[in-house]
Amino acid sequence: MDFESYKRRFRESLGRLAAPRDCKAERPRFRPLPPHPYSWMLTWELRFEDGKYIRAKEHYSKIRGRSEARRLYFSFHYGPDPAPAEPMASDPVDIRIDKQSGQPPHMHYNGPGDHIGQDRVSGLALEDVELFDFLKGIFKHRSTKHPIHEVFGFTIR
């Protein structure tokens, strides 16, 4: 995948997304990185009237020797909005699924402290969580009031 393909897929997924009325999506910020068009970052925030928000970040980087990129880093966060302060890793969180460069993916659930690795999570492949699937899951959680782990279909050991 390259940057233009990613943006096209993003816009198509956004066009199919049914956001709740109380959700205000900020403009997604795409930032090309060298070697463009095979490295880039996305940062996007969606805010809800009840003081919760979603912060999504993805970083794609060129695969050595190939004309395509892979997702190197991602962070999908849902919880209380820290605005106007800058978001921090220690912010309260309902759920955050993230992968930092060179590290395996993990989640934080009902708090920022515990890094819950894939070895403790059943029913959800953390590496495979996609941005728009995360958004749809959070929207469903908010509309049905079902617990997040039930909506996403995971259990923690």
Q: Where are the domains of the chain?
A: 3-156
120 CA to centre of own chain: 20
Q: Name the average pLDDT for the chain.
A: 93
36 CA to centre of own chain: 22
Q: What is the pLDDT of residue 35?
A: 73
Closest-CA residue to 138 (of 16, 58, 18): 18
Mean pLDDT, residues 20-27:
97
Taking only the tens place, the pLDDT of each residue in 92-123 is 999 999 998 788 999 999 998 889 999 999 99
Which pLDDT band, with edges at 50, 70 and 90, does 45 fall under? very high
Q: What is the pLDDT of residue 86?
A: 83
Handedness of CA 139, 75, 153, 79 (dihedral sign): negative
Q: Whole-angstrom Cα distance, residue 70 to residue 95?
A: 24
Extended strands (E) in 63-142: 69-80, 95-99, 106-109, 116-117, 121-122
Q: What is the pLDDT of residue 106?
A: 97
Strand pairing category for 69-80 and 40-48: unpaired
Q: What is the pLDDT of residue 151?
A: 98
Q: Whole-angstrom Cα distance, residue 141 to residue 135?
A: 10
Taking only the tens place, the pLDDT of each residue in 53-92 is 999 999 999 877 777 888 999 999 999 998 878 888 888 9
Distances (CA, A) of 131 to 9, 93, 113: 11, 17, 22
CB of 3 closer than 8 Å to CB of 38? yes
State if pTM tops 0.75. Answer: yes
Q: What is the pLDDT of residue 12?
A: 97
Q: What is the pLDDT of residue 8?
A: 96
